[in-house]
Amino acid sequence: MKYSTPRIVQDRGFRFLRWVLILVLMCGMALVGYYASRYQAGLGSQELQSVVRLQQERINELERIRLESAEKLAVLERSSQIDQEAVRKVRDELKNYQQERLQLDEELTFLRSMVSTKDDREGVQIHRFSLKKGDGEGVFQYRFTVTQSMNNGDTASGWAFLAVDGLKEGEPMWLPLREMTKEKTERIKVRFNQFQDIEGIIQLPENFKPLKVIVEVKPSNKNLPEVKQRFDWVVKG
């Protein structure tokens, strides 16, 4: 009796699913880039509110597509004729979608903070703080965004300060920005109408365990109160 090796057949639905997910990710990135460029151009409050509505609708649509894709993937995975490598790729693409969705949600929160009319949103706010591994031991890249409600109207200017709380050899240690930069930078100049992205490089000393990052913004305008926030030390990427 002759035996033949079973053929592995890839469902055409997989190809369609992968293209849908790729298009979803591309659309998401395009949306983020478009909104960022529009911020820089200086939108009015009414336009920003329209962008908020459109982005929320887009997020809802992406969620619908994701649920349909996930259901289809579950059906395909139950088939014995599915190429496991194709399954792995689709899983990775779904994971990328989840990350893109989180980014869109973050952008939506950022937009809403700029057009909010609530009293607790007045003044300068700190958003989207992140840390990434840099080139070299103990080197990290930080980034955050400072904003103010569009209802404030005036240009916000002043200084931003950054420090890291942690432990060295088991003892509490506080590091100001000047001790973590080659240029011995004391503070960072801020000046913006709607928002300003701030980023830079810091280097931690040996045997130092970071726990928290403290970001403080002190506006020169007396009508804008100072703001200070603490962030957990979480490195992404």
Residues 179-193 as b or e (16 or more Cβ within 10 Å = b): bbeeeeeeebebebe
pLDDT of residue 221: 80
Which residue has better confidence, 93 or 185?
Answer: 185
Q: At 93, list the tokens.
A: 């693409």
Closest CA to 115 of 30, 53, 36: 53
Q: Strand 139-148's sheet: what is its strand order?
A: 124-133, 139-148, 195-203
Q: Which CATH architecture has domain 121-232?
A: Sandwich (2.60)
The identity of residue 225, as a single letter, is P
Give the separation between CA 199 and CA 65, rounded to whole angstroms: 35
| pLDDT confidence band for 33 (50 / 70 / 90) | low
Convert the pLDDT of each residue in 207-224 to its tens digit. Answer: 999 999 999 999 988 778
More confident residue, 60 or 163: 163
> Which pLDDT score is estimated for 1?
43
Q: Between 167 and 90, where is the model more confident?
A: 167
Using the predicted structure, report yes or no on whether residue 154 has a pLDDT greater than 90: no
Q: How confident is the model at residue 203 (pLDDT cuts 50, 70, 90)?
A: very high
Question: What number is the average pLDDT over the span 125-153?
Answer: 86
**What's the pLDDT score for residue 132?**
94
Residue 100, pLDDT score: 73
pLDDT at 41: 43
Spell out the domain ranges in the chain: 12-115, 121-232
87-98 pLDDT tens trace: 677 777 777 777
Separation CA 29–CA 236 (nearest Å): 19
